[in-house]
Structure 1
Amino acid sequence: MLKAGGNAFDAICAAMLTAPLCEPMLTSLGGGGFMLAKSLGNAPTLYDFFVDVPPSRSKKKDFYPIDVDFGTTTQTFHIGRASIAIPGVLKGIYEIHKERGSLPLSQIVQPAIDLAREGLYLSKMQAHFVTLLEPILRSTKESEALFTDSSGKLIDHTHLFVNKEYAEFLENFAKEGDAFFYSGEVAKSIENLCKDRGGDLRAVDLESYKVIKRKPISFNFLDSTIITNPPPSAGGILISFALKLLEGKELQSFGSLAHLSKLIESMVVSAEFREQEINEHLHKVGLESLLDKQTLIDGYLQAYRNRVNLWGNTTHISVLDSSGNAASATTTNGEGSGVIVPKSGIMLNNMLGEEDLNPHGFFGWPSGVRLPSMMAPTMLLKGDSVEMVLGSAGSNRIRSAIVQSILNFNYFQKSIQASCSASRIHYERGDVFIEPGFEAAVVEAIKARYPITEFESHSLFFGGVNAVSGNLEGGCDPRRGGSVVVVKR
Structure 2
Amino acid sequence: MESFESDNIMQTHAVAAGHRLTAQAAETTLQQGGNAYDAIIAAVLMSFVSEPLLSSPGGGGFLMVSGPGQTPKLLDFFSNTPLIDSDNLAPSDWDFYPISGNFGDKSQEFHIGRAAAVVPGVVAGIFKAHEKLASMPLTQLALPAIEAAAKGIEVNRQQAFVAKILTPVISASQEAEQLYHGLTHGAVWKNKQLADFLDTLSKSDTDWFYRQPMSAKMYDSADCLLQANDFARYKCVIREPLLIQCGDYRVLTNPTPSTGGLLIADQLKHCQNTATQQPVFDAMFAMEQNKNKRLSTVSRGTTHISVTDNRGHLAALTISNGEGNGFVVPDCGFMMNNFLGESDINSEGFFNWTSGQRMRSMMAPTIIHHPNNQFALGSGGSNRIKTAIFQVAYHLIYNNSLLKTAVERPRMHIENKHLDLEPGFSGADIDHFKNRVDVTQWQNHNLYFGGVNAVQTGETIAAVGDFRRHGCGLVGLKNDGISEG
CA deviation after TM superposition for structure 1 residue 448, in Å: 2.5
1:200 is aligned to: 225
Does 1:247 find its partner at 2:272?
yes
* Structure-2 residue corresponding to 1:89: 122
Given the alignment, which residue of 271, 276, 295 partners 1:279? 295
* 1:79 to 2:112 alignment: yes
Matched, 1:487 2:480: no
Deviation at 1:436, TM superposition (A): 0.5
**3-state SS of the aligned residue for 1:44?**
strand
Structure 1 residue ranges without an equivalent (≥5): 149-153, 252-257, 282-312
TM-score by length of 2: 0.88
Q: What is the one-letter code of the residue matched to 1:47?
A: L
> Residue 453 of structure 2 aligns with which residue?
466
Which letter does structure 1 place at the counterpart of 2:129? Answer: I
Is the aligned partner of 1:191 residue 2:219? Answer: yes
What SS class does the counterpart of residue 376 from structure 2 fall into?
Answer: strand
Distance (whole Å) between structure 2 residues aligned to residue 221 and residue 447 of structure 1: 30
Using a 3 Å threshold, how does the CA distance of structure 1 residues 124 and 178 change in structure 2: closer, same or farther? Answer: same
Which SS does the other structure have where 1:486 is aligned?
strand
**Structure 2 counterparts to residues 303-314 of structure 1, below 5 A:** 313-314=301-302
Asked if the contact 1:267/1:427 (under 8 Å) is kept, the reply is yes
- Counterpart in 2 of 1:310? none
Matched, 1:375 2:363: yes
What residue number does 2:336 align with? Answer: 348
In the alignment, does 2:420 pair up with 1:433? yes
Residue of structure 2 aligned with 1:219, choices 244, 247, 250 = 244
Q: Secondary structure at the match of 1:485?
A: strand
Give the match for residue 263 of structure 1.
280
Matched residue SS, 1:271:
helix
Residue equivalent to 2:18: none
- Number of aligned residue pairs: 440
- Report the identity percentage: 38
Amino acid at match of 1:369: Q
Higher share in helix: 1
Aligned mates of 1:164, 1:205 — CA distance in 2: 28
Unaligned runs of 5+ in 2: 1-28, 479-485
Q: How big is the shift at 1:386?
A: 5.6
- Does residue 52 of structure 1 match 2:80? yes
CA drift at 1:4? 0.6
User: Looking at both structures, which has the greater relative contact order when contacts are Cα pairs under 8 Å and sequence separation is at least 6?
Assistant: 2
Pair 347,373 (structure 1): closer, same or farther in 2 beyond 3 Å = same
Give CA-to-partner distance per residue, 1:254-281, whole Å, 9 cap, x none.
xxxx12xx322322322344413x3399
The answer to whether the aligner puts 1:157 opposite 2:185 as a matched pair is: yes
SS state at 2:367 partner: strand
Q: Partner of 1:210 in structure 2?
A: 235
1:5 match: secondary structure: coil
Q: Given that residues 296 and 344 in structure 2 are in contact (C-alpha distance below 8 angstroms), is that contact kept between their aligned partners in structure 1? A: no
Query: Are the aligned partners of 1:394 and 1:460 in contact in 2 as well (CA < 8 Å)?
Result: yes
What is the CA–CA distance in structure 2 between the aligned matches of 1:420 and 1:61, rounded to whole Å?
Answer: 42
What is the rounded CA distance, in whole Å, between the counterparts of 2:316 and 2:398 in structure 1? Answer: 22
Counterpart of 1:359 in structure 2 is 347
Map of 2:466 onto structure 1: 477
Deviation for aligned residue 1:244: 0.6
SS at match of 1:487: strand
Q: What displacement does 1:393 show?
A: 0.6
CA displacement 1:100-154 (0-9 Å, x = unmatched): 1001111010000000000001211111111111110010111111012xxxxx4
User: Could you say what secondary structure the match of 2:150 adopts?
Assistant: helix
Match of 1:8 in 2: 36
TM-score after normalising by structure 1: 0.87
Mean Cα displacement is larger for which, 221-230 or 56-65? 56-65
SS at match of 1:115: helix
RMSD: 1.6
Choose which of 107, 111, 128 in structure 1 pairs with 2:161.
128
Higher strand share: 2
Q: Give deviations 1:309-339, integer Å, cap 9, x for gaps.
A: xxxx100000001101110000000111111
Alignment of 1:28-47 (within 5 A): 28-47=56-75
Structure 1 Cα separation of the partners of residues 220 and 80 of structure 2: 19
Aligned partner of 2:481 in structure 1 is none
